[in-house]
Amino acid sequence: MKTSTLDRNGISTELVSLVSRLVDLIPWPERRRAMGDVTLSLLDGKHRVAEDVFGWGRSNCAGWNQ
C-alpha cells in the first residue's frame, strides 16, 4: 500500500495548519523562501504535494532554489 508523504514523514494536520498560519505571517519575498524551506524540509522537496496540502503554487515553493 502506498503511503502519503505526510504519513511517511509523520506530519500531522495540526502541524500543517500551524505551518500554514506561520508562513502567512512572513512578508514577501521572505515568504517564498520559507515556502521553499518547508517544502524541502517537511515534504521531501515535492512541490506538487505542497500545492495540495498548503494550497501554495508550485512556482512559489521553488524559493529555496534561489
Give CA torsion, residues 39, 41, 43, 46, to 10 deg. 50
Buried b (16+ CB within 10 A) or exposed e, 2-37: eeebbeeeebeeeeeeebeeebeeeeeeebbbbbbe
What pLDDT was estimated at residue 20? 95
What pLDDT was estimated at residue 57? 84
pLDDT tens, the chain, 66 aa long: 456 888 989 999 999 999 999 999 999 989 999 999 999 999 998 988 999 999 988 777 765 554
Per DSSP, the three-state class of 11 is coil
